[in-house]
Amino acid sequence: MSRLPSGKNDETVRAKIARLHRPLVLAVVSCLDAVFRNHKPADRVLEKCFKDHPGFGKRDRSFIAEHVYDITRNYLLIASAFPQYVDFWEIFGAWLVIQGRDLPDWREFDRLHQTRIGSRIPGLVKNPALKYSIPPELDAYGHRALGDRWYAEMAAMHQAAPLVIRVNTLKSNPMQVMDFFREQQVPLHLIDPSLPEALQIDQRINLFATRAFREGWIEIQDYSSQQVAHFIRPDPGMRLIDACAGGGGKSLHLAARMANKGRIISLDIEEYKLKNLKARAKRAGAGIIESRLIENNKIIKRLESSADAVLLDVPCSGSGVLRRNPDAKYRITPDYIAQLVAKQKDILASYCKMVMPGGLLFYVTCSLFPEENEIQVHNFLTEHEGFELIEDRHLWPSECGYDSFYMAKIKRREGAA
């Protein structure tokens, strides 16, 4: 939660309440309706909202996004504190009360003025499932899968995601980027000396409007996600296939790690994602990336035994990135995970053939769950004797403070069929 009721109404809070404007609250309410009633991802809902309302300024957009994400993150707690709510106006008002803030004298909040929501919170948050707003099915599954670790990870991810950038070493270097932002009076810091291109921005800014982004010096990429390319450790000149490339964040990082020497074939089943990758690659100066659309299995067959390394960042539950996608937890069910596990198995069985004998296969997810990670890899190795596990690694939000990633390095044996 952002904070629990303190019972205090200082001047800062009063000033903030005074700035509440009905059009902005209406935008929040409309976004929440789209997320919970129409089951749309919050980031896309916000993107559409800002596109439809170009008159919203920087502070307006920040207000809307902050409240949409905070309320989404805490939705079940809010609904439990005020179970009689009728619409998202009252959900918004209940969130204000839970935070210890005064309600405006608006008719939409008439019933809330007569309640004591704040007094119910201490009792409710004793239940971790309510405290972190975890749906019952997901909570039961998480307990079975992770035991005592489950609530530790939920606590770690029940926060806003930090803003992390990756320095694109094809066009810049960490010192230049740090100097640029400091000149702009934007605070930032190096996260880990062993990963010098990963920098955390310590205030919310529109990075897309900066010269550093426009000129391709940086990309937005979480610290844990950046560790994938370092786990792969590609050599300049190698032939690498990013077989589930999506928007291409890891392809771009791999191109930089390879010093733009060699070849990266980026595959995906979504054409619009590959178009986005082409634009990003041009801005980043990553000339070794070639994008190809997977329309059928023919492209996989044409690439059989052709790659030094294949990266499979497979579709997964996204249970390890709930900080940035809090709405996803309301869509994750055991049935959904089972469908993903089956898809992951098919991808592994089909795409592993693109690795040349002696080459490497990298299996990656941003999931917390063993069924999508260690168990999936174990089952693959049991059914494919020509492959062996070299090492695997799991980054946990409760330990690293960033997204959860699982990475497995698998070798295709020489002479393997």
CATH number at residue 263: 3.40.50.150
Q: Where does a domain end: 113, 133, 153?
A: 133
Q: What is the pLDDT of residue 369?
A: 98
Q: What is the CATH number of the domain that holds 208?
A: 3.30.70.1170
Give yes or no: residues 211 and 236 share one domain.
no
Catalytic site residue from 244, 316, 366, 400: 366
Name residue, tokens 């904070």. Answer: 3
Give yes or no: residues 212 and 90 share one domain.
no
49 is catalytic: no
Q: What is the pLDDT of residue 254?
A: 98
Q: What is the pLDDT of residue 17?
A: 43
CA-closest candidate to residue 355, choices 262, 263, 272, 417: 417
Is residue 147 included in any domain, yes or no?
no
Q: Report the Cα–Cα distance between both ends of the chain, in Å, rounded.
A: 53
Gap between the Cα atoms of 318 and 328, Å rounded: 7
Q: What is the pLDDT of residue 14?
A: 40
Q: Which domain holds residue 42?
A: 11-133
Give yes or no: residues 191 and 242 share one domain.
no
Q: How many domains does the chain have?
A: 3
Q: What is the pLDDT of residue 3?
A: 43
At residue 185, the 3 state secondary structure works out as coil
Q: What is the pLDDT of residue 10?
A: 42
Gap between the Cα atoms of 274 and 6, Å rounded: 49
At residue 5, the 3 state secondary structure works out as coil
Amino acid code (one letter) for 238 = M
Give yes or no: residues 240 and 371 share one domain.
yes
Give yes or no: residues 82 and 179 share one domain.
no
Tell me how far the alpha carbon of residue 363 is from its chain's centroid.
18
Q: What is the pLDDT of residue 19?
A: 66
Is residue 178 included in any domain, yes or no?
yes
Give yes or no: residues 231 and 376 share one domain.
yes
Is residue 2 included in any domain, yes or no?
no
Chunked into runs of 10 residues, the chain (417 residues) has average pLDDT values of 40 48 95 95 96 93 95 95 87 90 88 81 90 97 97 95 96 97 96 95 92 97 97 97 95 98 96 95 97 92 96 97 96 97 97 97 98 98 97 97 97 82
Q: What is the pLDDT of residue 416?
A: 65
Model confidence, pTM: 0.92
